[in-house]
C-alpha cells in the first residue's frame, strides 16, 4: 500500500459524489473484486456537463496499472483547485438548463474539494480498515464424475474465469453440467454432450471441448456446438487467450494454436507427450504457455515456453501421472505431485516477470487432482480417482473369469506365446514385472528408474520392450527368467518403440517417431551372424503410422494410421507394403491377431469397445465387418489368448464413494501466514 492507493480511493469517492453510484459493485466480496479486476468504470454515468479536465483526472486516479496512475494525492488537490479557480466554459448552444447543471457539478466539486482534500485526505492517508478476505469452502458431489481416462487421476471439472460457474461432466453420457457458485442446484447445458476436457472463454460466455474428433465451442446457455478445427491426432487439453482470439491446445504431435473463430492449427512446438497447456500473460504484450511434458524421465516436467522462443524453460518435476499445472492470480503455479496415498496439490510461488519460482512449494490439498483457479482466486479440484487396476481374464462377452495378482497401477499387459506368462508395466516404479500364470507368482524383471513398456515376446521366451533409460526411446530384449543384462536391439537418437519379431524371428518391425514425419514403420533383418542389419522403410508417409503387428504367417502387417483423419486399423502385405486394406470402421487402436490368423482384434476408442474382425489371408487378404465383443473403460490395455477365446484386461476395483468436487474461494488466505 502506497500513495497510489490513496489516489485510487480518492477517485472512487469523487466518482460516487458525481454519479451517486459506486464505481464497482457486486453482491459479494468476490464479485466486487472481480469487477475491480475485469471492468472499467461506467464513464457514461458522469453528468454531461462534467469538464473534460475533471474526467481526465478521474481516469488517471482509477487506472488499474499503478505505473500509469496519478502518483500522489497532492497532485489531485492542485488539479481540483485549478479547476475550481477557472470559470466553466460556455456551452456552444446554451440552453436554459445547462448553466444550472454546470453549477451543480461545480458545487459537487467544491464539496468534494472541501470535504475530501482538506479533511478526507487525512483519513485516506491512514491505513484503511479493509475487509480482510477470508476462505470459504464447499463441495459438490455429482452422480458420477467423468474421468480423463480409466487409469488417470484427472477428472472433468473446471471453473469459469470470473469464478461464478463450476462446471463438470457426468460419466454416463458425458453431459456437461453447470452450477452457479451462488446457487445450490446444477443444470445441464443443452447440446453439450460427449464433452471431453472442457475449457472456458475469457469472458466466461463460451465453453470449448473435444467431441468426436473435433474441437468445438458452445455458448454457456447451450445450443449447437460450433467446430473450431479437426483433431486428427487426439487431444490433451486446451486454453483460451485472455483477449479471446486464440486457443492453445496439445495433441500427440505437440503444442498448437488455432484461431478461436476457427481455422487451421499452427504448431508452436513438436512433442509426442505434451499436455495441459495454458496461456500466461506477460509484460509488453508478450505471452507464454505453461504445460507439462515427459522428456527423458518417467516423471512429468513442468515447463514454460515464451511464444516466439524455441527453447522451453524447465520449472520442476512432478511424480504425479498428471500434474495438471495451472497459474493462480495469487502468484502461484498449482500442480499435483506424488502417487497413491502421497498424492497432493501443491502451490509454487512464481513470478510472471522472471518466469522463475520465488519460493518453496507447499501443499494445499491432500489427495486432490484436476485443479483450476479463476481470476478471482477461487480454486476448484476433485478427489483423486483410484488409479489402480486389477489384472483379470475375461471371456468374449467381457465376463471376468479369474483375477491375476493384486490391484496396482499398471499398464500394457502382454502375454507370452504359450499364454503361461504375462509381462506388465508397473506405473509406480516404472519397471517391468512378470506374472507366472500357472504358479500365481510375480517377479520384477527390470531395475531401472526410467520407464519401460513391454510390447511383445520372442519365441525364445524373451520380452521385447521400449525404454527411455538413455534419453530417447530405444528397443531392448531381456530373458524372462531375469538372467543376463537387457540387450539393446535398436538404439539411435530417434524414438523407437512397439517392436515385434516376425514369426520366424527373421525381421524386427517397429515404430519410429520424428517431428518431421510423425510415426513411421521400419524393419531390420537379422543376419546370419545374429545381428540386425540397417533399417528398411516399411511405411513412411506424412501421416502417423504406429503399433505394427505381424500376421501369424508373417505375410501381412496390421497397423494404425491417421491418414483418413483419425486412427484406423489397416493391413498391408509384408515386406513390400502393397494392397492396403482398412479393417476398422469408426477409429481403432491396438491391433492383435488370433494365432491361426483368422481374426483381428482392436479397440474402438470412442466406445472403449473391443472389436473383432473375421479375416482370411489365403489366397489374398480379405476381411468381414467388425463386431463388438465388449466394452471396458481400461481399454486399449489388453491382450488376447492364442485361441481368441480369452482376454487379459484391466478391471476397475469395486466402486468407492462418488468423487467430490471441492470449491475454495480465496484459497491463498488459508495459507498466507503458513506459506514459506
> In this structure, are 363 and 399 located in the same domain?
no
pLDDT of 341 reads 80
Q: Assign residue 289 the CATH number of its domain.
A: 2.120.10.30
Residue 118: strand, helix, or coil: helix
Q: How many CA atoms lie within 13 A of 575 on its CB side?
A: 12
Q: What is the pLDDT of residues 431-479, one digit of tens each?
A: 999 999 999 999 999 998 888 999 999 988 899 999 988 878 999 999 9
CA atoms within 13 A on the CB side of 316: 23
C-alpha cell at 644: 481368441
In the chain, what percentage of residues exceed pLDDT 90? 60
Return the pLDDT at 462: 94
Judgement on whether residues 305 and 188 belong to the same structural domain of the protein: yes
Quote the mean pLDDT of the chain.
Answer: 87
More confident call, 97 vs 195: 195
Q: Note whether 198 and 204 are within 8 A (CB).
A: no
* Distances, alpha carbon 456 to alpha carbons 476, 503, 641, in Å: 11, 12, 13
Q: Would you say 547 and 511 are in contact if contact means Cβ atoms under 8 Å apart?
A: yes
452 in the same domain as 582: yes
Mean pLDDT for 366-372 is 94
For residues 666, 668, 674, 676, the Cα torsion angle rounded to the nearest 10 degrees is -170
675 located within any domain: no
Q: What is the model's pLDDT at position 2?
A: 59
Q: Which of 110-114, 511-515, 602-606 has the lowest mean pLDDT?
A: 110-114
Confidence of residue 297 (pLDDT cuts 50, 70, 90): low
**Could you tell me the residue range of the domain that residue 446 belongs to?**
389-651
- Is the confidence at residue 568, as pLDDT, over 90? yes
Mean pLDDT of 567-594: 95
In this prediction, residue 110 has a pLDDT band, given cuts at 50, 70 and 90, of low
Lowest pLDDT segment from 154-158, 331-335, 362-366: 154-158
pLDDT at 100: 47
Same domain, 149 and 296: yes
pLDDT recorded at residue 149: 66
Residue entry with cell 486457443: 247
Share of the chain above pLDDT 70, in %: 88
User: Who wins on pLDDT, 214 or 672?
Assistant: 214
Of residues 529 and 253, which shows the higher confidence score?
529
**CA distances, 269 to each of 294, 311, 582 (Å):** 14, 9, 31
| DSSP annotation string for 325-386 | -EEETTTEEEEEE--GGG-EEEEEEEETTTTEE-S--EEEEETEEEEEE-TTS-EEEEEPPP
Residue 161 has pLDDT above 90, yes or no: yes
Q: What is the pLDDT of residue 438?
A: 93
Provide mean pLDDT across the span 220-246. 93
- pLDDT at res. 612: 98
Give residue 97's pLDDT band: very low, low, confident or very high (50, 70, 90).
Answer: very low
Higher pLDDT, 50 or 358: 358
Cell of 191: 447440446
* Band of pLDDT at residue 93, cut at 50, 70 and 90: very low
Question: Residue 165's Cα: distance from chain center in Å?
Answer: 19
Q: Residue 529 domain-assigned?
A: yes
Residue 132 lies in a domain: no
Average pLDDT estimate for 594-612: 93
What is the average pLDDT across 47-67?
Answer: 79
Co-location of 220 and 79 in the same domain: no
User: Same domain, yes or no, for 529 and 621?
Assistant: yes
* Rounded mean pLDDT, 175-189: 93
> Residue 520: is its pLDDT beyond 60?
yes
How many structural domains compose the chain? 3
Decide which of 99, 125, 151 is a domain's last residue. 125
CA distance 29 to 297: 44
Binning pLDDT at 50, 70 and 90, where does residue 20 land? confident
In this prediction, residue 518 has a pLDDT band, given cuts at 50, 70 and 90, of confident
* For residues 575-586, average pLDDT: 94
Q: Is residue 254 within 8 Å of 275, Cβ to Cβ?
A: no
Instruction: Go through 599-627 and write b for each residue having 16 or more CB atoms within 10 A of its CB, e for each that does not.
Output: bbbbbbbeebbbbbbebebeeebebeebe
Instruction: Supply the pLDDT for residue 261.
Output: 96
611, pLDDT greater than 70: yes
The pLDDT, as a whole number, for residue 122 is: 41
Does residue 144 surpass a pLDDT of 60? yes
Q: Above 80 in pLDDT, residue 317?
A: yes
What average pLDDT does range 83-103 have in this prediction? 49
372/460 same-domain check? no
What is the C-alpha radius of gyration for the chain, rounded to an integer number of angstroms?
31
Q: What angle do CA 32, 37, 38 make, to 5 degrees?
A: 95
pLDDT at 43: 83
Instruction: Evaluate whether 131 touches 107 at the Cβ level (below 8 Å).
Output: no
Asked if residue 100 is part of any domain, the answer here is yes
Q: In whole angstroms, give the CA distance from residue 502 to residue 557.
A: 10
Give residue 558's pLDDT. Answer: 98
Residue 448: which of 476, 422, 414 has the closest Cα?
A: 476
Strands ordered across the beta sheet of 421-426: 410-415, 421-426, 432-436, 441-444
In a domain, 135, yes or no: no
Q: Is residue 449 located within the same domain as residue 564?
A: yes
Task: For residues 108 and 169, state if they share a domain.
Answer: no
From the list 476, 455, 366, the residue with the least C-alpha distance to 639 is 455
Domain match, 107 and 194 both: no
Q: Do residues 403 and 368 both lie within one domain?
A: no
Using the 8-state DSSP alphabet, how is residue 105 labeled? Answer: H
Q: Tell me the CA end-to-end span of the chain in Å, nearest whole number.
A: 22
Among 125, 158, 181, residue at a domain's last position: 125
**What is the mean pLDDT of the segment spanning 296-314?**
89
Q: Which residue has the higher pLDDT, 221 or 68?
A: 221
- Report the alpha-carbon distance of residue 271 to residue 253 in Å, rounded: 5
User: From the CB of residue 524, how many other CB atoms can be counted at a distance below 10 Å?
Assistant: 20
pTM over 0.85: no
Domain membership of residue 408 (yes or no) is yes
pLDDT for 116 equals 46
Q: How far apart (Å, rounded) are the C-alpha atoms in residues 561 and 213?
A: 15
* In contact, 325 and 345? CB cutoff 8 Å: no
Say yes or no to pLDDT of 302 above 80.
Answer: yes
> Do the domain assignments include residue 441?
yes
Per-residue confidence (pLDDT) for residue 428, from 0 to 100: 81
pLDDT at 265 over 70: yes
pLDDT at 131: 57
Residue 121's pLDDT band (boundaries 50, 70, 90)?
very low
State whether 482 and 557 are in the same domain.
yes
How far is Cα 513 from Cα 496, in angstroms, rounded to an integer?
Answer: 6
C-alpha to C-alpha distance for 589 and 64, rounded to whole angstroms: 52
Band (1; pLDDT cuts 50, 70, 90): low
676 inside domain:
no
Amino acid at each position: 500500500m502506497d500513495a497510489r492507493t490513496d489516489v485510487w480511493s480518492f477517485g472512487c469517492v469523487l466518482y460516487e459524489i458525481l454519479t451517486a453510484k459506486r464505481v464497482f459493485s457486486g453482491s459479494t466480496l468476490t464479485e466486487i473484486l472481480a469487477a475491480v479486476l475485469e471492468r472499467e468504470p461506467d464513464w457514461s454515468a458522469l453528468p454531461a456537463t462534467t469538464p473534460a479536465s475533471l474526467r481526465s483526472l478521474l481516469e488517471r486516479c482509477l487506472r488499474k496499472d499503478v505505473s500509469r496512475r496519478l502518483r500522489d494525492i497532492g497532485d489531485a488537490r492542485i488539479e481540483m483547485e485549478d479547476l475550481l479557480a477557472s470559470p466553466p466554459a460556455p456551452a456552444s448552444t446554451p440552453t436554459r438548463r445547462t448553466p444550472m447543471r454546470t453549477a451543480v457539478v461545480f458545487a459537487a466539486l467544491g464539496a468534494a474539494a472541501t470535504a475530501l482534500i482538506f479533511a478526507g485526505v487525512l483519513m485516506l492517508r491512514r491505513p484503511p480498515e479493509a475487509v480482510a478476505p477470508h476462505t470459504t469452502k464447499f463441495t459438490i458431489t455429482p452422480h458420477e464424475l467423468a474421468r480423463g481416462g480409466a487409469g488417470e487421476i484427472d477428472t472433468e471439472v473446471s471453473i469459469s474465469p470470473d469464478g461464478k460457474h463450476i462446471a463438470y461432466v457426468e460419466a454416463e453420457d458425458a453431459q456437461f453440467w453447470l452450477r452457479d457458485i451462488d446457487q445450490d442446484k446444477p443444470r445441464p447445458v443443452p447440446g453439450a454432450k460427449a464433452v471431453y476436457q472442457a475449457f472456458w472463454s475469457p469472458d466466461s460466455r463460451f465453453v470449448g471441448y473435444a467431441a468426436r474428433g473435433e474441437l468445438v465451442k458452445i455458448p454457456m446457455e447451450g445450443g449447437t456446438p460450433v467446430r473450431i478445427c479437426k483433431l486428427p491426432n487426439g487431444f490433451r487439453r486446451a486454453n483460451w487467450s485472455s483477449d479471446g482470439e486464440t486457443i492453445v491446445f496439445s495433441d500427440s504431435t505437440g503444442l498448437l494454436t488455432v484461431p478461436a473463430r476457427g481455422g487451421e492449427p499452427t504448431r508452436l512446438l513438436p512433442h509426442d507427450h505434451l499436455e495441459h497447456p495454458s496461456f500466461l500473460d506477460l509484460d509488453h504484450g508478450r505471452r507464454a504457455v505453461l504445460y507439462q511434458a515427459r522428456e527423458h524421465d518417467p516423471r512429468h516436467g513442468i515447463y514454460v515456453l515464451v511464444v516466439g522462443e524455441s527453447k522451453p524453460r524447465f520449472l520442476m518435476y512432478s511424480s504425479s501421472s498428471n500434474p495438471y499445472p495451472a497459474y493462480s492470480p495469487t502468484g502461484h503455479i498449482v500442480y499435483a505431485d506424488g502417487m497413491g496415498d502421497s498424492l497432493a496439490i501443491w502451490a509454487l510461488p512464481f513470478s510472471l516477470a522472471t518466469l522463475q519460482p520465488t519460493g518453496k512449494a507447499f501443499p494445499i490439498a491432500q489427495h486432490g487432482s484436476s485443479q483450476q483457479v479463476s481470476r478471482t482466486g477461487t480454486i476448484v479440484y476433485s478427489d483423486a480417482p483410484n488409479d489402480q487396476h486389477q489384472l483379470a481374464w475375461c471371456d468374449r462377452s467381457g465376463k471376468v473369469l479369474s483375477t491375476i495378482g493384486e490391484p496396482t497401477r499398471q499398464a500394457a499387459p502382454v502375454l507370452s506365446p504359450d499364454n503361461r506368462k504375462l509381462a506388465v508395466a508397473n506405473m509406480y516404479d516404472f519397471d517391468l514385472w512378470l506374472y507366472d500364470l500357472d504358479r500365481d507368482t510375480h517377479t520384477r524383471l527390470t531395475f531401472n528408474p526410467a520407464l519401460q513398456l513391454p510390447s511383445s515376446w520372442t519365441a525364445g521366451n524373451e520380452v521385447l520392450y521400449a525404454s527411455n533409460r538413455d534419453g530417447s526411446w530405444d528397443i531392448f530384449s531381456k530373458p524372462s527368467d531375469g538372467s543376463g543384462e537387457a540387450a539393446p536391439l535398436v538404439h539411435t537418437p530417434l524414438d523407437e518403440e512397439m517392436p515385434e519379431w516376425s514369426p520366424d524371428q527373421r525381421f524386427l518391425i517397429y515404430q519410429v517417431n520424428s517431428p518431421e514425419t510423425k510415426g513411421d514403420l521400419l524393419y531390420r533383418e537379422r543376419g546370419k551372424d545374429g545381428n540386425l542389419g540397417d533399417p528398411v522403410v516399411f511405411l513412411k508417409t506424412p501421416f502417423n503410422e504406429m503399433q505394427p503387428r505381424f500376421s501369424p504367417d508373417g505375410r501381412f502387417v496390421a497397423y494404425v494410421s491417421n491418414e483418413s483423419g483419425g486412427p484406423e486399423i489397416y493391413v498391408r502385405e509384408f515386406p513390400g507394403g502393397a494392397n492396403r486394406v482398412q479393417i476398422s470402421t469408426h477409429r481403432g487402436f491396438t491391433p492383435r491377431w488370433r494365432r491361426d490368423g483368422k481374426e483381428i482384434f482392436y479397440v474402438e476408442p470412442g466406445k472403449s469397445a473391443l472389436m473383432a474382425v473375421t479375416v482370411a489371408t489365403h489366397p489374398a487378404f480379405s476381411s468381414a465387418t467388425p463386431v463388438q465383443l465388449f466394452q471396458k473403460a481400461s481399454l486399449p490395455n489388453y491382450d488376447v489368448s492364442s485361441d481368441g477365446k480369452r482376454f487379459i484386461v484391466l478391471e476397475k476395483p469395486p466402486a468407492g464413494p462418488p468423487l467430490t468436487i471441492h470449491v475454495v474461494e480465496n484459497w491463498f488466505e488459508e495459507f498466507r501466514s503458513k506459506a514459506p
